[in-house]
Chain A
């Protein structure tokens, strides 16, 4: 039987607010344990939460970027459950009235565009972190992370493959980074993706039993975990078995998912409106002020770059992968041939950046220098081949292309007399090849040009070399 996977994603993102969701403590949870804490985030008796306005601003920005409707009136709720990593034994979250709901995100998979429904994006506080000694003798709780602001973004079950899930996460992360609301570091747990996965016979509309894959530390891990889980579920069904509803972890080393927690009993979180907080009212003016401040988002930027600069969809995709990359490209393209700028950035410059394990936003080569270098090729000052050397030197030293060319004496030889002399020398030194050419062996010209370039250390203007050589050979 042919099966179809049905996947819904839940992504928790730590938004980069300076202070926690309900108090003024720093959100830096790398500080020594329990130093970024106060009565409020520790849930001390009598302490009360006060909602961080910056969090509402940033959450609405994400909602708008995901085409959500913004709730004019929403509230925080208490989600009750006991765990030592919770300071109050309830989490303040949003239940029936999330701040953002009913949006969508378009993803691109295998040349097709697909629309993924966004059910909701709501605010909640993070929990603390428990640590246990090996053997279980002692446990410690670090509350630095407790109360850190999270946005939980939940999709409709619109995703049908690991490829689509990967594309969704990539596109989502790109948007979050463009909005500058999170650095999305999965290693630091600032972006946590969970996939709810089920399979069903193709054509069926009923949902199969789902499993929830959690605690995966990378997009590629998520991709592999979903692939594995789909195959595992199909295998079980083909063998006549049934899927157990459970939470599964991902073992990256072995490349398998494993059962973490079977659903013992239905959780009853006993949600009710948080009485210590007032309702959140985002009026039209507030929403509009956030909308007005939104940056250009990746999809719009891609469309603009293909239109304005004639780039291919692929090139535009690469050049807008990050906001820093797109900013770099546009600054360079403004000062030189946009197509050539695209080629240099995606080619030689990207190679240097990759080798250096650097980020495009913080390299020594500025967009202006790159454009100036391309312009030096255009006006014949340097050859394309020399430019590669110039670029490497610019990357190493941070100098301008003019300074590099000047210091290293890399200016192209366009002096007719000098080239003429070099051509004459090479003709004289290679009588056999000259004779072959004259006998009609056109290919030999390449060898002769190579010899002339060698004699001029690559600096001779290649077009002039060609022209003068052909003129002399036909004499």
Chain B
């Protein structure tokens, strides 16, 4: 019997569309897999068994009737808790949105349904996408399928864990400072953060509006390209979405990188980078060089400031974005308050976890009059410098190659100091500040058997080249990572 949960999205889609397997059978295979292993992983916060099977059966009937089907026909997917769905709940893994049912679907959700993807359920995350380990979820703990004592990364840790444990074929997460790529690296899967504006944010519960972007996590690069074909494009409901045609990204997967110049930024190969990670990343650059890419050294001189800038801009926007969670109209409300101010204070104090409260306070502080110029305005100016760094670098190369994270996955509870946790995104944050696309793909295992990720950064709206190089590496790296032993 074919274990459909081990197949890629492309394989599933082709088999379903050809009638070789029913979408219902594939869906059942994934639902059974969730039942078998997710108790140990904790990726899913909600599984829509009946709805997913009904959706799959509807699709099968249409296939039998000879109707055309969508580009993700029968592909079982999962969605991060902050993507709005009328099905089930949209909680952002926060107590404050406990029981919240969105009255509308995110644009991405609509597109995935229209593409005939099967929505299995929602997956865990750091509360409101704030964190790098998914330990900040108010719902549950998620384990790294490669080592259950370790974190899956964050904030899209549930998404990455669902891919690594083969409980979804593609998962959709969001990336504000590395929240797709870092967990993808920790869990040994592919994670793509598209260019800011490539994918509609309508229906993505906002953390930091100028940085957030939805993107796919998948088993391989081809599946990431397939997913991008579906979710990209201008959305009249999102004023910041780019009005560009959606190309067929699978056509970019030519298998070679001949003629590409790939830059290694010297500022990323620093002492904080573990020697194991450094060795694997450098070896991957060598693979690409062998395939015809030219490797050059580039400089991104303002890299050092990225984390500081991020922790001013992102909390500032978050402090406004999260203001609406006040208990007035939906979600959690403290039941015993004498007046409206007390109700706000008690609701927010009990509804938000410590990391979210920390960032709201930080954001409120940096925006307050008297501090605005010194923090927020200054940060925006440095953000411009960071963007200009990339512009200059991309005058010399087509792609930039870096590690995704300084180390492989760490153990749960290992990073109790928030600042230490923030530094985990040191290699991913800059691209969010610059709004440019980046992918993380596996480049090997550490001595302790944990995956290590390689990051490829591209020019704005040049996801095609990013995918092409990532795919070429995947084809030629000869990695024998296997899969986590979950039975």
Contact = CB atoms under 8 A, between A and B. Distances in A.
B239 A276 contact: yes
Nearest to B84: A46
A282 B8 CA distance: 48
B220 interface: no
Contacts of B201: 46, 48, 276
A48 B103 contact: no
A314 B326 CA distance: 57
A244 to B, nearest CB: 23
Contacts of A277: 239-240
A434 B82 CA distance: 105
Secondary structure dominating the interface of A: loop
A46 B367 contact: no
Contact of A89 (B84, B92, B97, B323): B323
Interface-centre pick from A40, A51, A272 (highest chain B CB count, 10 A): A272
Given A45-B205, A46-B202, A46-B203, A51 B104 contact: no
Nearest to A50: B239
A47 B364 CA distance: 22
Nearest to A81: B323
Given A46-B205, A48-B237, A275 B210 contact: yes
A163 B330 CA distance: 49
A82 B92 contact: no
B324 A50 contact: no
A141 B328 CA distance: 9
A437 B160 CA distance: 118
Contacts of B22: none
A82 B344 contact: yes
A302 interface: no
Interface in B53-100: 82-84, 90, 92, 97, 100
Contacts of A276: 201, 206, 209, 238-240
B238 A48 contact: yes
Interface string A14-53: 0000000000000000000000000110111111111100
B376 interface: yes
A90 interface: yes
B20 interface: no
Nearest to B209: A275
A84 interface: yes
B317 to A, nearest CB: 6
B112 interface: no
B365 to A, nearest CB: 9
Given A268-B369, A277-B239, A277-B240, A47 B323 contact: no
Nearest to B100: A45
Contacts of A78: 320
Nearest to A38: B104
Interface in B307-354: 316-317, 319-320, 323-326, 328-330, 340-341, 344
Given A46-B206, A272-B376, A275-B210, A39 B103 contact: yes
Interface in B358-417: 364, 367-369, 372, 376
A88 interface: yes
B303 interface: no
B239 A48 contact: yes
A87 interface: yes
A275 B380 CA distance: 12
B151 interface: no
Contact of A90 (B103, B320, B341): B320
B204 interface: yes
Contacts of B340: 84
Interface residues of A, number: 29
B357 interface: no
Contacts of B97: 45
A438 B152 CA distance: 124
B320 A272 contact: yes
A50 B237 contact: yes
Contacts of A40: 237
Contacts, number: 104
Contacts of B367: 80, 270-272
A78 B369 CA distance: 14
Contact of A278 (B202, B205, B239, B325): B239
Interface-centre pick from A87, A89, A275, A277 (highest chain B CB count, 10 A): A275
A424 B344 CA distance: 96
Contacts of A89: 320, 323-324, 326
A278 to B, nearest CB: 5
Contacts of A80: 319-320, 323, 367
Given A39-B103, A47-B202, A84 B328 contact: yes
B236 interface: yes
Interface in A54-88: 78, 80, 82, 84, 87-88
A5 to B, nearest CB: 30
Contacts of B90: 45-46
Contacts of B209: 275-276
Nearest to B317: A275
A123 to B, nearest CB: 14
B324 A39 contact: no
A48 B368 CA distance: 24
Contacts of B204: 46
B202 A272 contact: no
Contact of A49 (B102, B239, B323): B239
A271 B209 CA distance: 15
Contact of A48 (B82, B202, B326, B376): B202
Contacts of B203: 46-47
A391 B124 CA distance: 79
Given A272-B316, A272-B367, A276-B206, A44 B103 contact: yes
Contacts of B236: 50
B141 to A, nearest CB: 24
B23 to A, nearest CB: 28
Interface in A309-356: none
Contact of A270 (B202, B205, B206, B368): B368
A20 B160 CA distance: 40
A462 B240 CA distance: 78
B347 to A, nearest CB: 11
A87 B239 contact: no
B383 to A, nearest CB: 12
Interface-centre pick from A43, A276, A278 (highest chain B CB count, 10 A): A276
Contacts of A87: 324, 329
Given A48-B201, A270-B368, A272-B376, A43 B324 contact: yes
B113 to A, nearest CB: 16
B106 interface: yes
Contacts of B330: 44
A272 B209 CA distance: 12
Nearest to B327: A84
Contacts of B84: 45-46
Interface in A167-214: none
Contact of A44 (B102, B326, B368, B376): B102
A43 B330 CA distance: 11
A154 to B, nearest CB: 19
Nearest to B323: A89
A270 B369 CA distance: 6
A461 B163 CA distance: 103
Contacts of B368: 268, 270
Closest 9 CB pairs of A and B: A89-B323, A275-B209, A270-B367, A275-B210, A45-B205, A46-B203, A46-B84, A46-B205, A88-B324
9 contacts: A47-B104, A50-B237, A78-B320, A80-B323, A84-B340, A141-B329, A268-B369, A272-B372, A276-B206
Given A40-B237, A45-B205, A275-B210, 7 more contacts: A39-B103, A51-B239, A78-B320, A80-B323, A80-B367, A89-B324, A275-B317
Interface of A: 39-40, 42-51, 78, 80, 82, 84, 87-90, 141, 268, 270-272, 275-278
Interface of B: 82-84, 90, 92, 97, 100, 102-104, 106, 201-206, 208-210, 236-240, 316-317, 319-320, 323-326, 328-330, 340-341, 344, 364, 367-369, 372, 376
